[in-house]
Amino acid sequence: MNFYKKIKNSAVRNINPKYLELISKRGIVLSKIPKHSSTVTSDLFLYRIENNWSTFFELLNVNRLIDNDNLNHKIFEVEIIFFNNSGDLVERFEIKNIRDIKHRININEITNHLNIKHDGTFAVIHKNPPIWLKDYDCFLSERGYTGYENNFYGPIKSYVHGNLDAIYKESRGDIKQLGNFSFLKKKYFVQHRLLTRYSYDFYWVNPTNRKQKLIIEELSESNTIITRIQMEPRGLYKYSYKRNSNKTDSVIKIQSRLYMARPIVFKYMENSFDVFHG
Amino acid sequence: MSFFPLFNILETKGFCTVHNFSPNNWEKSHKKTKKLWLFFLRDNLWNSKKIGEIKYGDSFNVKMENLKFSNENIDSTLVILQLRKDDNVPKTMNFLPKSQFTFTKTPEWRATVGFSLGLSQTSYQGEINPFPEKGSLLTFHPFVQQVNIENYFVFVNLETSPIRRYSIIEIYLPHKKKFIDRVKVYNNHANIISLDKYEFSKNELPTFICRNMAGIPFGFGINRTSPMLSLEHTHPPASFTLHGSRFQVQKRIKTSWFNKLKF
C-alpha cells in the first residue's frame, strides 16, 4: 500500500467521517473500517415472503473463489441473520458443510422453519475468511445476488446484486453497522423515470447506527408528493407508487443524511416484474 | 461517466433513457441543457450523430428500433450515447471523444438501459467507460435458471479504438477445473452466448475467462410461456472484499484462476 493510501486509511480509521467530509469531499467514505482484520461484512439483503413472493440467495463459496489453493475452503459454512423492518435481530440460522461451490438458498424455506411471517432483511456472514486478506487491509464482503420470484408472474427470477456494505459481525458475535452518514443533508435522485402505466415499490435500508430521517419526494409536472419517514438502524422502509393514468411521469428525490440513499426498485408491469438498484 | 450503451439482445428491443440530472447534490455537475450524441461503428471508424437536446431535469428515451443509419449497415450491435456541450463533433473518428463534463462518482451518473419483449421490460441503471485493450475478464456466473427459462451470458465491450478485433471467452466449471467451451467475442460489441446447451445445474457456477479483453458481463433470462425478462450484471472479483487494496486482491485472484483454468 502506498504512502498516500496509508495516510488515508489511518485517517478513515481514526477520524469521524463527518469531520473528514468537512476537510474535503474526497474524504467521504461510505462505510467504516472494522477494527479486527478477520471481520466479515455483509449487505442487508431484502427478503420478500409476503403476498406470494419468494426470495432466493445465490450463495457462493467466496473463500474458495478468493483462495483456490487452500483445500480448507472446499467445504464452507455461513450464518444467516434475519432482521425485521424495525432493524431488530429476529433469528440466526447456520448452514454447515456446504460442499457445492454455489448453493441456491430458498429463503422462504428458512423463514417458514423459523416462523418468520413478514418481509425484512438478512445478512450472510461467512466463516473462516482467507487469512492473507489482512495483508491487503481488506475484509471479506458478501455482496451477492438475490433472486425474487412470484407465482403470479411465472417461474422466472429477477436478480439484483448487493452493494450496500451494511453490517459486520464482531468476534464476540455482536452485529455492528458499517454505514457512515453526514452532518449535512444530502439529496439523492433516482435516475429513473417512473412511468404512469407501471407501479413501483422502493425499498430503503438504514446501514448506519443512528435513526435516519428521510424525506421522499415524488416529483411530477403536475404535483409533488412528500413523505417523511424515520428508519431505525438496520431498518427497512417500503414506498409504493401506484399506476395512475391521470398522473404524469415522475422522478423520486430523497433528502437525508445518508451519502447514498439508494433504493432497490421493483417495477410491476401487466404480467411481469423487474427489480434493479435505483 | 462517459457513455451509455444501447443494444438489442436477441429479439428483445433495446432502449436507453438518458437523464440530464445528477444522482446527488454534493458532487459537482453541469446543470445546463446538454446535447445527446450517438456513436456507432462503420468501416472501422466511429461515426457520430446528434440526436437531441435534453434540458436540465429532463430525460430522453432512445429506442434501438427507431434509429436510422441512412440505409447503410453498421458494423456492430452496440451503439453508444454521450451527453456533450458541442454541436460539432466530427462525422467520423479514429477514437471515441472524451467526456466534456465532470460527472458524479457516488454513484456514477447512469442511464436506464433496458430491453422490451411484448409488454415485459427489464432494465438496469448503467453506464459504460471504454476498457483498456489489455484488460481481461474473470467472472463467476450464478444466474442460470432451470425451469422453462432460456439463459444467456451477455458480454459488452467498449474500447476507444474502432478497429475490429476479437478474443476468446473460455467457459469452465471451476470446482472441477473442467473446461466447457470457448466462444469468439468481438470488441465494441454486445456478445450473446446461449448457455442452455451446457445444461448447468442450479448448484454449478459457470465461470467465464477472457484473457485479453475486458467487458461488462450480464446474465440474461427469458421466460417465453409467461413472457418476462431477467437481467443482472455480475461483479468483478474485487467485490468479494471491502476497503484496502481490493484491486491488488483482484489481480491475485485473477492470476490464480487464469493459471488453474486452462484448456
Task: Indicate the residue type of B59.
Answer: S
What pLDDT, on a 0 to 100 scale, did the predictor assign at position A28? Answer: 79
A66 neighbourhood in chain B, CB within 8 Å: 237, 240-241, 249, 253
Q: Give the C-alpha separation, B144 to B180, whole Å.
A: 15
Q: Which of A156, A188, A259 sits opposite B149 (nearest CB)?
A: A156
Grid coordinates representing A190 are 433516482
**A149 and A209 together in one domain:** no
Rounded to whole angstroms, the Cα distance separating B85 from B33 reads 8
Cβ count near A134 (within 10 Å): 15
**Chain A hits for B172, Cβ within 8 Å:** none
What is the rounded (10 degree) CA torsion for B260, B261, B262, B263?
Answer: 140
Report the greatest alpha carbon distance in chain B. Answer: 55
Residue-level pLDDT at B1: 53
Q: Return d(Cα A241, Cα A243) in angstroms, integer.
A: 7
Measured between beta carbons, which residues in chain A are less than 8 angstroms from residue B139? none
For residue B72 the three cell numbers come to: 447503410
Task: Name the residue among B22, B25, B204 with its Cβ closest to that of A102.
Answer: B204
Instruction: Please give the biggest Cα pair distance in chain A.
Output: 62
Q: What pLDDT was estimated at residue A6?
A: 73
Are A244 and A145 within one domain? no
pLDDT bracket for residue B136 (50, 70, 90) = very high
Interstrand relation of A40-42 and A139-142 (parallel, antiparallel or unpaired): parallel
pLDDT tens, position by position, B231-246? 999 999 999 999 999 9
3-state secondary structure of A60: strand
Query: Is residue A61 domain-shared with residue A148, that is, in the same domain?
Result: yes
- CA gyration radius for chain A? 20
Asked, for residue A1, whether it belongs to a domain, the answer is no
User: What residue in B sits closest to A132 (Cα-Cα)?
Assistant: B249
Percent share of chain A, pLDDT over 90: 78
C-alpha of A38 from chain center: 21
Per-residue DSSP letter, B255: H
CA quadruple B62, B68, B69, B72: dihedral sign: positive
Mean pLDDT of chain B: 93
Neighbours of A255 (CB within 10 A): 18
Amino acid letter for position A246: N
Taking a C-beta distance cutoff of 8 angstroms, is the pair B257, B251 a contact?
Answer: no
User: What pairs with residue A237 in β-bridges?
Assistant: A204
Beta-carbon separation of B204 and A101 below 8 A: yes
Question: Cα torsion for B131, B137, B140, B146, to the nearest 10°?
Answer: 80
Same domain, A95 and A233: no
B126 CB neighbours in chain A (<8 A) are: none
The CA distance from A177 to A84, in Å, is 15
Average pLDDT for B161-187: 96
Q: What number is the average pLDDT over the span B118-132? A: 96
The shortest C-alpha distance from B200 to chain A (Å) reads: 12
Q: Are B30 and B57 in contact (CB under 8 A)?
A: no
Does A4 map to a domain?
no
Tell me, yes or no, whether A160 lies in a domain: yes
Which residue, A144, A177, A210, sits at the end of a domain? A177
Q: Which of B120, B124, B204 sits opposite A269 (nearest CB)?
A: B120
For residues A32 and A127, membership in a common domain is answered with yes
Give the pLDDT score at B26: 85
Instruction: Determine the structural domain holding residue A238 and report its residue range.
Output: 181-277
| % of residues, chain A, pLDDT over 70 | 97
> How far is Cα A122 from Cα B189, in angstroms, rounded to an integer?
37
Q: How far is CA B152 from CA A83, B217, B232, in A?
A: 34, 10, 11
Spatial CB neighbours of A7, under 8 Å, sequence gap ≥ 6: none
CA distance B95 to B160: 5
**Touching B: A residues 125-184, CB under 8 Å:** 133, 136-141, 143-145, 147, 153-161, 163, 165, 184
Q: Is residue A5 part of a domain?
A: no
Average pLDDT, whole number, for chain A?
92
My answer on whether A86 and A198 are in the same domain is no
pLDDT tens-digit map of A164-207: 899 999 878 899 999 999 988 999 999 999 999 999 999 999 99
Is the domain of A96 the same as that of A187? no
Summarised one tens digit per residue, pLDDT across range B187-218 is 999 999 999 999 999 999 999 999 999 999 99
Nearest to B241 among A139, A145, A193 (CB): A139
Distances in whole angstroms, Cα of residue B253 to Cα of each of A255, B128, B183: 39, 24, 23
Domain shared by A125 and A48, yes or no:
yes
Reported as type and span, the H/E element at residue B123 is strand B120-126
Cβ atoms of B38 and B60 within 8 Å: the answer is: no
Three cell numbers at A20? 473528514
Tell me the ipTM for this assembly: 0.95
Over residues A21-54, the pLDDT tens digits come to 777 766 678 899 998 888 999 999 999 999 999 9
Q: What are the backbone dihedrals phi and psi of residue B240, each rounded to the nearest 5 degrees, phi first?
A: -75, -10
User: Mean pLDDT lowest for which of A208-217, B21-30, B212-221?
Assistant: B21-30
Total structural domains within chain A: 2
Task: Name the residue with cell 475484509.
Answer: A139
**Residue A73 pLDDT level (bands cut at 50, 70, 90):** confident
From its phi and psi, is residue A128 left (phi > 0), alpha (psi between -120 and 50) or beta? left
Fold of B137-260: Hypothetical Protein Tm1070; Chain: A (2.60.290)
Contacts of B233 in chain A (CB under 8 A): 161
Give all strands (DSSP E) within chain A, no chain letters. 40-42, 45-47, 53-60, 76-83, 89-98, 102-106, 120-126, 139-142, 145-150, 158-161, 167-169, 175-177, 181-189, 199-205, 212-220, 224-231, 236-241, 250-258, 264-268, 273-277
Please report, for the domain that includes residue A201, its CATH number.
2.60.290
Let me know if residue A190 belongs to a domain: yes
**How is chain B split into domains, by residue range?**
4-126, 137-260
Cross-strand pairs, B161 = none
The residue out of A119, A146, A177 marking a domain boundary is A177
Q: Are residues A170 and A232 in the same domain?
A: no
- d(C-alpha B238, C-alpha A238), whole Å: 30
Residue pairs spanning A and B at CB distance below 8 A: 196
pLDDT at A210 over 80: yes
**Residue B73 pLDDT:** 65
Give yes or no for a contact between A124 and A78, defined as CB atoms under 8 angstroms apart: yes
> Of A119, A148, A177, which residue is a domain's last?
A177
Query: In what side-by-side order are the strands of the sheet with B120-126?
Result: B59-63, B13-19, B111-117, B120-126
Task: Give the CA angle between residues A224, A226, A228 to the nearest 5°.
Answer: 170
Contact status of A271 with chain B (Cβ, < 8 Å):
yes
For B76, the grid coordinates are 456492430
Nearest CA in chain B to A104: B203
Rounded to an integer, what distance in angstroms lies between the CA atom of residue B52 and that of residue A2? 45
Note which residues in 46-105 of chain B have CB less than 8 A from chain A.
Answer: 59
Please choose, from the candidates B134, B85, B82, the residue with its C-alpha nearest in 3D space to the C-alpha of residue B111: B82
CA distance B136 to B185: 13
Question: According to the model, what pLDDT value does residue A222 have?
Answer: 87
CA atoms within 13 A on the CB side of B40: 20
